[in-house]
């Protein structure tokens, strides 16, 4: 298309040169015929008007061949957004890099910088309460937002909303990992609790999702992360014996519900790991408090870089 436009411009210039040459020849012809000075001036003015008309037509053709003002504005806006996004990504990379000399990293990746990134993308609570119990909804929300090059976290449950991204690094990876990821996620929570404690324990669970970047397209090993999550849960129970002594025996070991590849990322291999922890509690308020503390502890572990393989 650009070559066609160049050819059109070249042809138009040739026509302009021919028109000027013809005008000059006509002027010389007028002078040779002995026209008066006034007639010569009029002829020159008419020729100038003709050339101006040709120039205006050329400008109109050029304008029609270009983008409209609105299209140009949108194009410039898209370019500016792309520039800002690239600048932000570069800043995130500079703020969240880690060294590649980690114990247990495959030899083929020892020269790769920023290895060992794990990102917590989402977490949610579920509670299997009986329908016949009287229920009420208690909802509140808060928003926390930060940007990171190595992790992203989303927590979901029914009592609060959070939005956060936190940077952290991992050490001693047993599988290949690459650069930290940078994205933004939203955390949404929803839950319900009963006014009257049920007669039987409430079976509930804490679920969360985190992402792992790998150098290969094979699903990563996550046993070490399950052990870390179990350690976090046991620490919470041990530090709150008065609150969680009733549910401590029922807390199960974390289990993997699914490992799925994130096809939205085309620049790296990312796998989304969904983990759940089952437990029972005597009251809805205890269910909600335990869920809240577990998710908050995992979020903090990701933020300070301690959510690593055990």
Q: What is the pLDDT of residue 173?
A: 39
> What's the pTM?
0.40
H or E, element range at 118: strand 118-128
Tell me the C-alpha distance between 143 and 160, whole Å: 9
Query: Are 295 and 125 a contacting pair, CB within 8 Å?
Result: yes
H or E, element range at 63: helix 37-65
Stretches where the chain sits below pLDDT 70 are 1-2, 29-36, 63-69, 92-199, 310
Tell me the C-alpha distance between 191 and 204, whole Å: 11
Q: What DSSP string runs through 213-225?
A: EESSSSPPP-HHH
Q: What is the pLDDT of residue 101?
A: 36
Query: Are 201 and 250 a contacting pair, CB within 8 Å?
Result: yes
Residue 267 CA, chain-centre distance (Å), reads 12
Q: What is the pLDDT of residue 63?
A: 67
How does 155-175 read in b/e, with b if 16+ C-beta sit within 10 Å?
A: bbbbbbbbbbbbbbbbbebeb
Q: What is the pLDDT of residue 92?
A: 67
Here the tokens at position 237 are 């129970």
Could you count the other beta carbons within 10 Å of the beta carbon of residue 14? 10
């Amino acid at each position: 298309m650009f070559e066609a436009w160049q050819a059109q411009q070249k042809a138009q210039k040739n026509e302009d040169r021919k028109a000027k040459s013809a005008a000059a020849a006509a002027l010389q012809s007028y002078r040779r015929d002995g026209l008066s000075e006034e007639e010569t001036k009029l002829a020159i003015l008419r020729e100038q008007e003709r050339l101006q008309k040709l120039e205006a037509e050329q400008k109109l053709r050029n304008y029609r061949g270009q983008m409209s003002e609105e299209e140009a504005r949108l194009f410039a806006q898209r370019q500016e957004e792309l520039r800002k996004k690239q600048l932000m990504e570069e800043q995130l990379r500079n703020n969240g890099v880690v060294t590649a000399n980690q114990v247990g990293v495959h030899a083929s990746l020892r020269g790769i910088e920023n290895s060992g990134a794990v990102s917590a993308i989402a977490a949610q609570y579920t509670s299997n309460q009986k329908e016949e119990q009287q229920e009420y909804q208690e909802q509140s929300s808060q928003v926390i937002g930060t940007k990171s090059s190595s992790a992203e976290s989303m927590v979901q449950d029914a009592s609060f909303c959070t939005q956060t991204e936190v940077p952290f690094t991992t050490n001693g990876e047993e599988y290949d990992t690459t650069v930290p990821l940078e994205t933004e996620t939203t955390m949404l929570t929803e839950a319900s609790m009963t006014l009257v404690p049920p007669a039987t324990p409430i079976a509930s669970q804490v679920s969360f999702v985190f992402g792992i970047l790998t150098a290969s397209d094979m699903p990563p090993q996550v046993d070490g992360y399950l052990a870390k999550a179990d350690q976090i849960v046991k620490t919470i129970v041990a530090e709150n014996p008065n609150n969680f002594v009733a549910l401590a025996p029922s807390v199960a070991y974390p289990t993997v519900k699914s490992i799925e590849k994130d096809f939205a990322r085309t620049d790296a291999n990312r796998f989304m790991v969904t983990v759940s922890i089952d437990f029972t509690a005597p009251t809805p308020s205890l269910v909600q408090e335990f869920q809240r503390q577990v998710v908050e502890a995992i979020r903090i572990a990701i933020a300070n870089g301690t959510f690593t393989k055990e």
